[in-house]
Structure 1
């Protein structure tokens, strides 16, 4: 299979999804032995992450010389290990945890602000209404955060980055379009039952294609890195703690 003629490539090294680099620079990384032939790579013209070896980016002679230097490996087991450690099919739970952490943090700030100026509104509003209101307002807030800082706090904690397929940070309009798409198609605007259906289909879509429908259509990509258990627990427990505190109050 011939590699696509894209000029922007992402690759995985040391369990981190990195890039973008041009095709010439990518070839040099392989030629100099910095990246092995089994490295997962991706460009916006590809449907999913694939091993560089399967795309014939390097001449066959380069791969042959490496085979002579090393004993024959079980490529099936190598693939399984790489697939397990480098997340070529996306990481739905990392994305969901990051979003719910960011939403919970925003809701806490919003409710604190509103309770100071209008405590009656908090007392008379249902939890579902407050969640939906926070979800809609967060669309604008998230777009602003992404365009200014390049990432949200939740994604940063979980070592995930959101970029365009050209490797740039999102501008406000692109970030706003993506936030609306995620809120509508990925979360069903927070409407009970509908949101669970949206969660399920977006999860299946991400696991099957390696990227969500909105990322594919808008031209964005989420890059993942390794993340420790302590960070996962912190991001997971924060929304739960706020929920319990809200019920008790």
Structure 2
């Protein structure tokens, strides 16, 4: 695996610059993108190997509040190894859109093992395993810590550096589109959650 060194300070914003909302949007894009691909892949393979159990499992995710909890936990959890692999090898779509790079203190890419450890820690400490309301609390706590200390708990523990590229016209265009995608995804997800809960209540 080739070693990639970060650009010089003239080409990038100082590592201490923090942009919590950009990091959140990048993460949500990655979760939605890789979550959809993973679920489709699991459904396709499961449909061949064990169609009935897979169908029952997916049906559970459409039944009321508990179904929503299961869907959130499963969707976010299943993306952990996928995002870890892409983060260690090429970077993720969300980070590309928001011009974010995660590196070791010396500028190298994270190894696969350390990338997986970071993603697993984000799943637990950042998203509270994806459990509704719990994840809201952990996200707010992480945002406050990042804004005040300049680092999240997982990056400080692993001594990682999160770099944001210098502002550019292309960067603004990508970020605007990224924010729009996140808003649309959130609206769709909440609408689906409310619909599922209403259906369960009237059934």
Q: Which TM bucket (shorter chain)?
A: 0.7 to 0.9
Partner of 1:135: 76
| Residues 157 and 203 (structure 1), Cα distance of their counterparts in 2 relative to 1, 3 Å cut | same
Which has the larger share of strand? 1
Q: 1:158-191 CA deviation, whole Å, 9 max, x = no partner? A: 1111100010001011111111111111111111
Partner secondary structure for residue 136 of structure 1: helix
Partner of 1:203: 143
- Normalising by structure 1, we get a TM-score of 0.61
Partner secondary structure for residue 139 of structure 1: helix
| Residues 10 and 209 (structure 1), Cα distance of their counterparts in 2 relative to 1, 3 Å cut | farther
Cα distance between partner residues in 1 of 2:27 and 2:156: 19
Corresponding residue to 1:166 among 102, 106, 109 = 106
Which segments of 5 or more consecutive residues in structure 1 lack a partner in the other structure?
Answer: 1-8, 18-39, 43-48, 50-87
Query: Following TM superposition, by how much is the alpha carbon of 1:11 offset from its aligned partner in structure 2, in angstroms?
Result: 6.6
8 Å Cα contact 2:34/2:79 also seen in 1: yes
**Counterpart check, 1:230 vs 2:173:** yes
Partner of 1:23: none
Of the structure 1 ranges 121-130 and 196-205, higher mean CA displacement relative to structure 2 is found in 121-130
**Counterpart check, 1:241 vs 2:181:** no
**Counterpart check, 1:13 vs 2:10:** yes
8 Å Cα contact 1:111/1:122 also seen in 2: no
Structure having the higher Rg: 1
Query: Following TM superposition, by how much is the alpha carbon of 1:119 offset from its aligned partner in structure 2, in angstroms?
Result: 4.2
Query: Following TM superposition, by how much is the alpha carbon of 1:108 offset from its aligned partner in structure 2, in angstroms?
Result: 1.4
Which segments of 5 or more consecutive residues in structure 2 lack a partner in the other structure?
Answer: 1-5, 48-53, 62-66, 197-203
Cα distance between partner residues in 2 of 1:123 and 1:172: 34
Which has the larger share of helix? 2
Query: Following TM superposition, by how much is the alpha carbon of 1:202 offset from its aligned partner in structure 2, in angstroms?
Result: 0.8
Where do 4+ consecutive residues of structure 1 move more than 6 Å?
none
Corresponding residue to 1:123 among 47, 52, 59 = 59
Report how many residues are paired: 172
**Counterpart check, 1:220 vs 2:160:** yes
8 Å Cα contact 2:35/2:78 also seen in 1: no
C-alpha RMSD over aligned residues: 2.7
